[in-house]
Structure 1
Amino acid sequence: MLNFVKGAIIGIALVIPGLSGSIFAVVVGLYDRLLNAVNHFRDDPKKNMRFLTPIALGAVIGILLSTKAVLVVTTRWPLPSYGFFIGLVLGIGPFIYRKLTTKKFSWWYLLLVVFGFVAIYGLAKLGGTDPENLIAIKRLTSVSDAGVMAFAGVFAVSLMAIPGISGSVMLMVIDQYGTVYNAVGQLGDAARAAASGNWPAFQTAMGSVALLLPFMIGAAAGLIAVAKLMAYLLAHFEAQVYYAVCGIVLAAVVILIEAGIAPYWPATGHLGAIAMVVISLVIGVLATIFLDKPDADGKK
């Protein structure tokens, strides 16, 4: 049950632009074990399936429940919602600090911080940052559409397997964020249409949902390809990886401020806005720190 809840948290993080599902997997103590389960799946398929299934189901439920909810709260209450998201990111700080201190500091590591920041911030600027950005493909109508969605899965998921990188931002870079999450949202519409016997509406919704199949195939391929690389890097260069992650996290904070704080900052009433953002930010920080605990078996 605990892994299901952790999976749901990871799923919610996947939906929010700027947040990283993989870094939350690290914080809740699942990342290394996920890599190991993927990389060595054939060594013990039953054991790895028992471990992966509740996490995957939780992530799917988290994505389904939060896709439209995130859009609603960020549209109606942008300042507190983005303040909370920023707090979630900043709450990762103590965890990253512990990782950085595993190796003696070297000044050149600061270049990794700069590289992480510039790479992710630059990529984010290539795409839109509006959660309601253009739905590039509305229905799966051709092989080229399937190819685009498969590439989106490979691109976003292979990069988001790197701790700190937001899969949502990567989808924005290639202008497929709206396409993917519209398709996810249509799952609920399809279920409601089927329950009410509205088959024309069901067929319309499933036309969008069909886009998820090539996306998921590409996502699986991307995850498998990057899992071994990340396992190697974390085994041999853990501190260096997390210096780069530090820059990625800083970029995520800037991206979130630009997307949800700066555009909605009031011309007057600054004290109220500041209080709203600070309170929600603190709640977000505390939420992440609360999650940053060992499992019952002592694993992180």
Structure 2
Amino acid sequence: MEYLVLALKGGCMGVADIIPGVSGGTMAFITGIYDQLIDAVRSFDFEFIKKLFKLDLIGAFEGPHLRFLLPLLFGLVLAMVSVANLMHYLLGTHPVEVWALFFGLIAASIIVVGRRIGEASVSNVLIGIAGAVFSYLLVGMIPVTTPDQLWFVFLCATISICAMILPGISGAFILLLLGKYEYITGALRNPADPGNAAILLAFVGGCIVGVSLFSRVLHYFLERHHSATVSLLTGFMAGAMRKVWPWKEVLDTVTIRGKVHVLSEANVLPPAYDSSFMLALALAGAGFSGVIFLEWLSSANRG
């Protein structure tokens, strides 16, 4: 049952990581496994690499937290592969409803994560505001087109995986900014194709390098400067709300390889307060309530 729950939590992270503007790190925070996730990634240390090169496989895999990581990764990868097509379809046909659900999820997440700051000092407030401003500006940046070579896919993975484990900053959106979101999700739709397999292997390699380095930096700041770090993460999530506001007006588009890409858009008020608005409101409320319930459940289990 414990492994099944971990796989479900990994599935939540995988679904979130597919959506530009929603962070898998946020889902890890919501489901109460964020600290475990960082520690598990850090368990792949220099000693692990040294034993691996000596072909001491048994010794190498004694250290890493595989009982935690394997079911989590199974759920994450399964969700990303199976949900990629569905999310593309839903975002294309029901964008307001999808964004409304995630708006509610992230709104509640800000409350949940904000409770963990501890000391409400002036410096923590200022750090949170700085994080919100940075995230707000980041999600408003215009996506660019970039090369398709495997070395660049590796580099994009190294950068985006850092965002994937940060609450509030979406790794999928970083891929969108780097012009590789549709390229990677396209490969996920048919991973058995040799060309797509090479792309995904390069991406996974970049993710391993990026997350191994960044998790150590993040762990240091969470250990030494916990309140300030959580304040910054909370600010990141608050600023990211700009991206997931359900009602948008497209200002400019560009067509690349036969596909229309949005260059810029503006958040607007709902065009009408009708049944569609009520459905979006209900989904936002469901997302908000779901996160609060999960936090209550997690607190009850810890107690």
Question: Which of the numbers 45, 48, 73 marks the counterpart of 2:61?
Answer: 45
Q: Give the superposition deviation at 1:172.
A: 1.5
What is the distance in 2 between the residues matched to 1:124 and 1:79? Answer: 18
Q: 1:238 to 1:286 in 2, by over 3 A?
A: same
Q: 1:8 to 1:268 in 2, by over 3 A?
A: closer
What is the distance in 2 between the residues matched to 1:209 and 1:217? Answer: 12
Query: Quick one: which amino acid aligns to residue 236 of structure 2?
Result: I
Question: Which of the numbers 210, 218, 229 marks the counterpart of 2:217?
Answer: 229
What is the distance in 1 between the residues matched to 2:288 and 2:301? Answer: 25
What is the distance in 2 between the residues matched to 1:67 and 1:291? Answer: 25
Unaligned runs of 5+ in 1: 138-144, 191-204
Q: 1:160 to 1:108 in 2, by over 3 A?
A: same
Question: Which of the numbers 197, 204, 222 marks the counterpart of 1:209?
Answer: 197
Secondary structure, counterpart of 2:190 in structure 1: helix
Contact 1:4 / 1:57 at 8 angstroms: preserved in 2?
yes
What is the distance in 2 between the residues matched to 1:88 and 1:267? Answer: 19
State which drifts further: 262-271 or 240-249.
262-271
Q: Does 1:247 align with 2:251?
A: no
More helix by share: 1
Secondary structure, counterpart of 2:298 in structure 1: coil
Unaligned runs of 5+ in 2: 49-58, 251-267
Q: Give the superposition deviation at 1:206.
A: 3.0
Contact 2:167 / 2:234 at 8 angstroms: preserved in 1?
no
2:78 maps to: 61
TM-score by length of 2: 0.80
More strand by share: 2
- The correspondence of residues 20-39 of structure 1 with structure 2, limited to 5 A, is 20-39=23-42
Question: Which of the numbers 295, 298, 301 marks the counterpart of 1:294?
Answer: 298
Question: Which of the numbers 134, 137, 157 marks the counterpart of 1:122?
Answer: 137
Query: Quick one: which amino acid aligns to residue 218 of structure 2?
Result: M
Q: Give the superposition deviation at 1:180.
A: 1.1
What is the distance in 2 between the residues matched to 1:77 and 1:266? Answer: 17
What is the distance in 1 between the residues matched to 2:235 and 2:11? Answer: 26
TM-score by length of 1: 0.81
Percent identity reads 22
- The alignment yields a C-alpha RMSD, in angstroms, of 2.6
Contact 1:6 / 1:58 at 8 angstroms: preserved in 2?
yes
Pairs aligned (count): 268
What is the distance in 2 between the residues matched to 1:243 and 1:296? Answer: 24
Using CA pairs under 8 Å that are at least 6 residues apart, name the structure with larger relative contact order, 1 or 2: 1
